[in-house]
Amino acid sequence: MNYETEIKSDLGDASDAKFEEQGGFARFTTGKARWVIAAILILAAVIGGYMLMSGGETAADDNREAQAPSISVIAPGRTTVTGEITATGTLAARREMPVGVVGEGGRVVSVPVEQGSWVRQGQVLAVIDRSVQTQQAQSAAAQIQVAQADANLAQANLDRALQLVERGFVSKADVDRLTATRDAAVARVRVAQASLRELQARNARLNIVAPSAGLILERNVEPGQTVSGGSQPLFRIAKGGEMEMLARLSEDDLARLSPGETAEVTPAGSDKTFSGQIWQLAPTIDAQDRQGTARIALPYAPELRPGGFATATISSGTLVAPILPESAVLSDREGDYVFVIDGDNKAVRRSVTTGEVTSRGIVISQGLTGSEKVVLRAGGFLTEGETVVPELVKQGGE
């Protein structure tokens, strides 16, 4: 049996809705309903595809996260570091005095001191033969006696003449002549005396004496040797035994220092360390190697041998900066650098400027604030932008 019914839409749609019933099945036919169903199906497909794609990306991200390497990192912070400058140089006497022949010289008859001896000011270091000079001094002394005898005779003649002037036996002219003779004789006495003192002074200079107390560094004369004025120094003396180190420093290091800074000096071949103080900085820079000299005053010690090699560690104030282990600092043609991990867990290269190397690590003077996560080791195997899993460790930890 077939039924056909006409129903009008409440929405005032002019289309007809027809129900046909045949064999227990019903078919709904309408123009706009089919469009609504198609739109719903398309929307469901789009939502399903989006869900599927979103789930795939999340899985891929999780997979990449699982494959990212675990890297140890540290947050170095900032530490107050005592600045230190290491320099090398040679040891020398702070005030070295060369001692040579002052007079005309001669044959050396004795050398009563040895190299390494301590001497006082004025002590005789060497004696030169003075047999000829002694005879000359004796001759000059005799000349004084002769001149003195002439002067005495001239004075006696003048005294007698003055007594006879009153009686009229001697004229005024004779008195003047006798007075002049007496004055000339007295003058010759003074000349003879001056000649003797000159010879005595020359003879005294034949003894080579220490100009100041100190330590004899070199002895370049032996008995029997003939020496003369202008020859090489016979002795070298360190005044007061004071020593110093001539530390060679770069222009930058030299500019960071000032007189009065303390230093620890270790001579080559010795385990002992000696405390000293910078007492002078060179006012010039060597044009060849661009270095200057810091003179470090040192007290006497047997291990401090002039001419020897030494190493100095000089204090140069304090610095507040991060300190990193050596394994965290890398170098290439562009300079020193480290890897830091950013907020996205990606490795980022950071150029740094290194300072002193201390027992705790390398001081980073520029490039880091201390709050970064710095790769502790294996930085050489990382690439810029690589994703990692940072594991924070304490400074000095493993």
Q: Which residue did the predictor score with more confidence, 230 or 52?
A: 230
Q: Token pair of 96, please?
A: 């070295």
Instruction: Look at the pTM and tell me if it is higher than 0.85.
Output: no
Topology of domain 131-204, CATH:
Helix Hairpins (1.10.287)
- The answer to whether 344 and 336 are in contact (CB under 8 A) is no
3-class DSSP assignment, residue 374: strand
- The answer to whether 326 and 362 are in contact (CB under 8 A) is yes
- State how far the Cα of 363 lies from the Cα of 317, in Å rounded to an integer: 14
Highest mean pLDDT among 11-25, 86-100, 370-384 belongs to: 86-100
User: What does the pLDDT read at residue 10?
Assistant: 42
Q: Strand 389-392 vs strand 70-74: parallel, antiparallel, or unpaired?
A: parallel
pLDDT tens digit sequence for 94-136: 999 999 888 778 889 999 999 989 999 999 999 888 877 777 7
Residue 83, pLDDT above cutoff 80:
no
- What CATH architecture does domain 95-129+207-237 belong to? Beta Barrel (2.40)
Residue 236, pLDDT above cutoff 80:
yes
pLDDT band at 337 (very low <50, low <70, confident <90, very high): very high
CATH code of the domain made up of 68-94+242-397: 2.40.30.170
Rounded to the nearest angstrom, the gap between the alpha carbon of residue 262 and the centroid of all alpha carbons in its chain is 11
Q: What share of the chain is helix, strand, coil (3-state, %, to 5)?
A: 30, 35, 35
Range of lowest pLDDT (125-134, 150-159, 220-229, 274-283): 125-134
User: What does the pLDDT read at residue 66?
Assistant: 53
- State how far the Cα of 133 lies from the Cα of 136, in Å rounded to an integer: 5
Residue 267, pLDDT above cutoff 80:
yes
Q: What does the DSSP assignment read for 43-58?
A: HHHHHHHHHHHHHHHH
- State how far the Cα of 377 lies from the Cα of 363, in Å rounded to an integer: 17
User: What does the pLDDT read at residue 378?
Assistant: 73
Of 364, 351, 352, residue with least CA distance to 325: 364
3-class DSSP assignment, residue 12: coil
Amino acid at 80: T
User: Is-same-fold flag (95-129+207-237; 131-204)?
Assistant: no
Question: Could you state, in order of their start, the residue ranges of all structural domains in the chain?
Answer: 68-94+242-397, 95-129+207-237, 131-204
Mean pLDDT within 366-391: 85
> Any idea what DSSP says for residue 69?
P
User: What does the pLDDT read at residue 162?
Assistant: 81
Residue 258, pLDDT above cutoff 90:
no
